[in-house]
Amino acid sequence: MNKFTGTGVALVTPFLKNGKTDFDSLGRIVNHVIKGGVEYLVIMGTTGESVTLTKEEKKDILKFIGEVGNKRTPVVYGVGGNNTLEAARELEHIDASMADAILSVSPYYNKPSQAGIVQHYKTLSSATKLPIILYNVPGRTGSNLLPQTTLEIAAKCKNIIGIKEASGNMEQIMYLIQNRNKGFLVISGDDAITMPLIAAGADGVISVIANAYPKQFSTMVRLALQGKIVESRKLHYQLLDLIPLLFAEGSPSGIKYVLSQMGICQNYFRLPVAPVSKKLEQKINTLIKGI
């Protein structure tokens, strides 16, 4: 579980103009974030536009990242959805040599009860021996994975080792930190509140901005984990104004624009994601010049 303390980066999936995966750019991103000091990679999440990729494309990307990463950092692979049995079948066929853990988003659209969410994760837990990290993001799923439910799932499913908490609810997340069993990871899912959450006892972050600024962000996280809050705070405020702009017109449009300005990947997407507006580009450009 210590593998997933610190900074995980939710990798974007770069595309070519024709819509195909841009593997050259993907290789640059992987090397960029690893050299920047992140502790692990997270692929096939929201930031990776996973819902627009076919199963074959996902397998190809996982294999490619394994080859480029060459075991330099652990890999967390996103498997989830609102069809429990389909997600379980996908988990049964994951090559455990390619992934170190699974990130699984709470079921979306169905708006299940808390009891339904418990049964969902019990089913997924029994489908794989890999560690699973829960993912609570009510703004996207339409339902909140309550902290009491998270603790119940963790108690019943021994291979569920933590949660990426993106509710933005500090009180809820601190309740989890206070009442979790020893070793259960509470991971920030919001870049902007990562430093204060670590100060409250969280174990790190799965970050979007670390695609572009892995050194600054992972250093901030490590300093906070070491209790060096004053030093960590300086880096926190250096990046803070940029973070909301990355999500102002949807994600991953903001972070891909930044990466395109850095020459790391091109600014292409799969619909329904679209590029940011010219107005937002100007705001982002002003801020990244100062970083």
Query: Other CB atoms closer than 10 Å to residue 41's CB: what's the count?
Result: 25
Q: Give dist(CA 80, CA 77) in Å, integer.
A: 10
56 CB-near residues (< 8 Å, 6+ apart): none
Token pair, residue 21, equals 């995966």
Verify whether residue 164 is a known catalytic residue: yes
- From the candidates 121, 164, 256, 257, give the one annotated as an active-site residue: 164
- Determine the 3-state secondary structure of 288 from DSSP: helix
Query: Other CB atoms closer than 10 Å to residue 223's CB: what's the count?
Result: 20
- From the candidates 135, 213, 257, 268, give the one annotated as an active-site residue: 135
In the numeric block, the tokens 């837990």 are attached to: 125
119 CB-near residues (< 8 Å, 6+ apart): 84
Classify residue 17 as exposed, middle or buried by CB count within 10 Å of its CB (0-12, 13-18, 19+): exposed
One-letter amino acid identity for 223? L
Token pair, residue 114, equals 């808390």
CA within 13 Å, CB half, 119: 9
Verify whether residue 135 is a known catalytic residue: yes
Residue 61: closest CA among 89, 15, 26: 26
Residue numbers annotated as active site: 135, 164
